Structure formats: structure tokens, C-alpha cells
Structure 1
Amino acid sequence: MKKLPLKIALLLIVLISGSNLFAQDFQGKASYMSKTTMDLDQFGGQDMTPERKNQIQERMKSFLEKEYTLTFNKLESIYKEDEKLAAPGARGGRGGFGSSLTGGPIYKNVQTKELLKDEEFFGKQFLVKDELKAIEWQMGTETKTIGQYTCFKATATIEPQGVDFRSFRGPRGARSRNNSEGAKDSTDANKPAEPKMIEVVAWYTPQIPVNQGPGNYWGLPGLILEVNADRTTILCTKIVLNPKEKETIEKPKKGQEVTQKEYTEITTKKMEEMREMYGGRNRGGGRRRN
């Protein structure tokens, strides 16, 4: 990470020297809203009508729009999705996409560099245990206000973790790309694309001088209140410092213990199998109605 600009360094000194945030029992809670957009054309949806696309987007809304709570202290944090009651008359998620891939709590310890994730994939529980890797943030001097907090901008280029679902496009999209490029073998279309690097823009506030943030994001001299990464935006909507009732930050413990690399390999292999099955059914039964 680059050295802090003088403006930020001076602000940090003033804030930390006059702040009681670093009391031994300090704790905070931040609420976040996460929203992801999806281009259905990347999943074989080129031939869908706008109405059909809107129907699918609405069905996936519960998967693409979520609310989380980050509970943090000086060294640790736990990031959990808020539980919601199903809407009356809504279809259950059994067998659906959202029920097949469920992200649980994410625990980070910035002192020991410990990262723990509770993940469920097709009914199987995993405990992803790995090192909390540093993010090479590029510090800026641009500011904006989020709520009552002055935030500074930082950027980074990272490789996304886990499964990149855009790599598993529908067979129609794969064929159209092959036809347009003309030089690729058909077997190449069934392979997931190489993981791409994504640009991340984060806004953090030195007014809360802890280097925590939502999800996997951390490592800035202040709590991260907003993240824009590829098609996902995470925005802090509420902050409570030193609540009367403290919450114990517990590490996730359940599930088969794997590293992030191993978990990515497991999920990627399963998604490849599903894509092949989907492609086979489409080729074999595409004209059943005729």
C-alpha cells in the first residue's frame, strides 16, 4: 500500500488523538445493502424478450439484492447476511439457484491475518479457512460524504474469489461467439473463461479508524462504507458505535475445512458439470415441442 497523502495523514492523527474508539472494549455495528446486476445475454439470453428478462431478474432479486451487518472491534469482524422472512405466497428456494450457493458469515482478524468463511454449496457445508491477503490499495485525496462521515477514495485491482458465473454462459451464447470468431474449437466454448481482474473503488472514513470493511474488503485506515466492484455495489446505511449490548464475535466452525483455492476448484468443477448437462439437454431436446 502506498504512503498516505499528507492531507489524510494529518486527519488521522487528529482523529485518533482525540478519539476514544480504541478503548479496550470498543465495538461497532454497520449495516450494508448489497446490489448486483446481471447481464442475461452472457447466459444465453440473447433470444429472450425484454419481458422474459424482467421476469428472471425479478425472480433473482432475492439473490442479487441483500442486506448485511458487519460487527467489528479493533482487530476482528464478522459479516453476516440479515435474515428475512419469505414473502407470503412466494415460491420456496428449494432446488433453485439461490439455495444451491449460500454464503454464510465471513470472519476476519486483521492482527492474525485469519480469514474464515461459512459456505454452503448444493447442500454441503464448507469452512473456507485461508490467510487474509493484503489488498494493494491506491490512496487518493478525493472525498465525499456518506451519512455524517467524510470518506476518502481508494482503488485497487483484484482477482475475484470464488466462482465467476459469467464464465459459464449458455450454449447459444457460446455458439454465437464461436461463429463470430470462427477460429475456436467447439470444445473451447465449454471451458470457463480465465478469471479476469476487476477494478474496485472503495470509500472509507478515518472518523472510524479501524481497517475493517464488508465482505473480503479491509486494509484501509478507516471503516469502508462503500464498495463498487464490477457489477456489485455495497453501501453502508447505518452505523452504531459502542452499542449498549455488545455482541460476541465468534468464528465460524462448521463444515469441511478447505482453502479458498480448493473451494473455488470444487465449485467450478460442479458448475462445469451443470453447464454440460444443460447444454446436452438443450441440444437433445430443443425441438421437442415440434
Structure 2
Amino acid sequence: MKLQSLFLVLALSFGTCVVNAQQFDGGVATYFSKTSFDFENFGGREMSEQMKKQFAERMKSRLEKTFTLTFTKDESIYEEEEKLDAPGAGGGMRFMGGGFAQGGIYKNIAEDTYARENDLMGKSFLVKDTLNKLDWKLEKESKMIGQYAAFKATAVRKIDENPFEAMRRRRDQDADSTAVAAPKEEVITAWYTPQIPVSQGPDEYWGLPGLILEVSAGRTVILCNKIVINPKEGLEIEKPKKGDEVSREEYEAIVVEKTKEMAERFGNGRRRGPGGRG
């Protein structure tokens, strides 16, 4: 254990010198994100193992994604890499009569600003707000991630259940009085490297004394697998600017309202008999 700690210290010292010895403009980090699916709470109790396997395969493109984080000391943009859908997989999350799509996450640490372009049922919104801040606790654990010495940090975050999960949970609780309530908080574990001296990270994570290379939160794990410092083609960080400007709170209220509308339309459709008659 002592030998491993010494190795990490040497790697950290050497790596920091390498980054600081050159003109550091920023870099591009590639992340792989994987989310496990909660079959039990999605009706999986009634699914056979074969059905679960088939469903998991169809959901793979939605639950396993690749992102790039283009970053400088102050700014970053976190964007999903474009890829073609498999035949029959469909093109993203769809609502009745519309769609839902999210753009890249822009963070400006110097200005404490967050921005993201979202499309909701045919309408564009520009979500602008201050950055979400986590109260990170720096732990003593360390490990190597690729060639970088990484250190552990944890934080506790309140869980805001999205409208779809809330609808499903209310439905389950109505059907079963013993249904377990959703947890109110979750522990986030991150691994950061001071070898890259920026407080940036994937998704909405930031605020540690080094680039965040790995995050575990709930059912999602995000892992960095490639970093290019000062890429030859340069860095391009474009701040989102399209859509009706709203705060996070305002946008969430709009999503809730649209979700209710969709649920009512869907429910009315199910209640109607053949030909649309009651």
C-alpha cells in the first residue's frame, strides 16, 4: 500500500510538472456513460429473462453513450457524440405530437453560469441559470485512471424525481400500498486528477481541484477514457443561445405541465373504445 501511495505521488508530481511546463490552453476529454436499468420498477416482474434481454438490447443505445468535454480553465461544453440509431431503434425520446432533445451543457466557472438548449414538443428553450454547487468532501483514497493519478471525493445530493418517474411511482403506490418510496438523497462519488489543473468535469459536475475523470451517481457511471491537452485543431466552446430563455425552475415547471398534458391525452385515448367512442 505504501509503495502504491509513493507511486501515485510521483505520478502526480511528474504529471503536474508536464502540464504546467507548457502553455496550457485547455483540452478535450472523452467520456463513456452507462446507466443500468431498473427492470423491477418498470414492470420487470412480469418479464421473462428473454424479454428482459431483448428489451435491454433495444435500450442499449439510450443507456450507453459517449460524450466529449471541451474545456479551458473557465469554460466547458459537454456534448453527446452523434451516432446513427440501429434499425428499428427510433430517434430519441418521443412524445405524442412532438419530441424531446437536449443540447450540450455549457459551464462558465468564472461567471458562475450554466446554459443548455432544449427542444420540448416542438418548442426551443434556452435554460440559463447559476451552476449547481455540490459540497464536496475530499477523501484519502487514490488510484490510477490511465496515466493520471486520481483522488476520491464524495458529495450528497438531493434527488429531484423527473416527471416520468414521479408518474410511474404514483401509479405503483396506488396499486400497491407497500410500494417503497423513492430515496430523497444520493451519494455521488467522483475521482479527479490535479495533474490537469481545472475545476471542470462531465455533465453538470465541477468544483474539484482537478479535472473530474470518473463519476458514480445513482445508476449512472461516467468514465473518462481519452484526454487531449492543447489539441492541434484548437478549442471551440460555443455558448448556447437559441430558444426562449428560462431558468431551471421555470423549465422544470414547463416539463411537468407538458407531461401532465401528455398523460391526460394518453389516458383519454385508452379510455376510448374502437373508433374513438367511449
* CA distance 1:144–1:231, shift in 2 (3 Å): same
Corresponding position: 1:207 with 2:195: yes
Would the aligned equivalents of 1:130 and 1:260 in 2 still touch at CA under 8 Å? yes
What is the TM-score normalised by the length of structure 2?
0.82
Q: Please give the alpha-carbon distance, in whole angstroms, between the structure 1 residues aligned to 2:23 and 2:161.
A: 35
Q: How does 1:261-280 map to 2 (within 5 A)?
A: 261-278=249-266
Q: Please give the alpha-carbon distance, in whole angstroms, between the structure 2 residues aligned to 1:48 and 1:241.
A: 47
Decide which of 87, 91, 94 is 1:93's aligned counterpart.
91
Of stretches 160-169 and 114-123 in structure 1, the one that deviates more from structure 2 is: 160-169
Q: How does 1:107-256 map to 2 (within 5 A)?
A: 107-160=106-159, 163=162, 165-169=164-168, 173-178=172-177, 180=178, 196-256=184-244
Tell me which residue corresponds to 1:106.
105
* CA distance 1:232–1:41, shift in 2 (3 Å): same
Letter in 2 for 1:120: D
Q: Secondary structure at the match of 1:173?
A: helix
Would the aligned equivalents of 1:46 and 1:173 in 2 still touch at CA under 8 Å? no
Q: Please give the alpha-carbon distance, in whole angstroms, between the structure 2 residues aligned to 1:167 and 1:63.
A: 20
Tell me which residue corresponds to 2:31.
32
* CA distance 1:122–1:252, shift in 2 (3 Å): same
Tell me which residue corresponds to 1:184.
none
What is the TM-score normalised by the length of structure 1?
0.79
Letter in 2 for 1:92: G
Shift of 1:262: 1.1
Tell me which residue corresponds to 1:67.
66
Shift of 1:63: 1.5
Letter in 1 for 2:90: G
Work out the percentage of aligned pairs sharing the same amino acid.
48
Of stretches 211-220 and 196-205 in structure 1, the one that deviates more from structure 2 is: 196-205
Q: Please give the alpha-carbon distance, in whole angstroms, between the structure 2 residues aligned to 1:269 and 1:198.
A: 26
Shift of 1:232: 0.5
RMSD: 3.1
Of stretches 47-56 and 72-81 in structure 1, the one that deviates more from structure 2 is: 47-56
Q: Secondary structure at the match of 1:263?
A: helix
Corresponding position: 1:55 with 2:54: yes
Would the aligned equivalents of 1:127 and 1:252 in 2 still touch at CA under 8 Å? yes
* CA distance 1:55–1:173, shift in 2 (3 Å): farther
Would the aligned equivalents of 1:170 and 1:275 in 2 still touch at CA under 8 Å? no
Q: Secondary structure at the match of 2:189?
A: strand
* CA distance 1:169–1:34, shift in 2 (3 Å): same
Q: Secondary structure at the match of 1:218?
A: coil
* CA distance 1:106–1:143, shift in 2 (3 Å): same
* CA distance 1:42–1:101, shift in 2 (3 Å): farther
Would the aligned equivalents of 1:28 and 1:241 in 2 still touch at CA under 8 Å? yes
The CA deviation string for residues 141-185 of structure 1, in whole angstroms up to 9 with x for no partner, is 10011111110000011134682643221786344323x47xxxx
Would the aligned equivalents of 1:43 and 1:173 in 2 still touch at CA under 8 Å? no
Tell me which residue corresponds to 2:276.
none
Letter in 1 for 2:28: K
Segments of structure 1 that go 5 or more residues without pairing to the other structure are: 1-6, 182-192, 286-290
Letter in 1 for 2:244: Q
* CA distance 1:210–1:269, shift in 2 (3 Å): same
Tell me which residue corresponds to 2:45.
46
Shift of 1:56: 2.5
Shift of 1:218: 0.0
Shift of 1:23: 6.6
Segments of structure 2 that go 5 or more residues without pairing to the other structure are: 1-5, 274-278
* CA distance 1:20–1:248, shift in 2 (3 Å): same
Would the aligned equivalents of 2:188 and 2:218 in 1 still touch at CA under 8 Å? yes
Shift of 1:122: 2.6
Tell me which residue corresponds to 1:288.
none
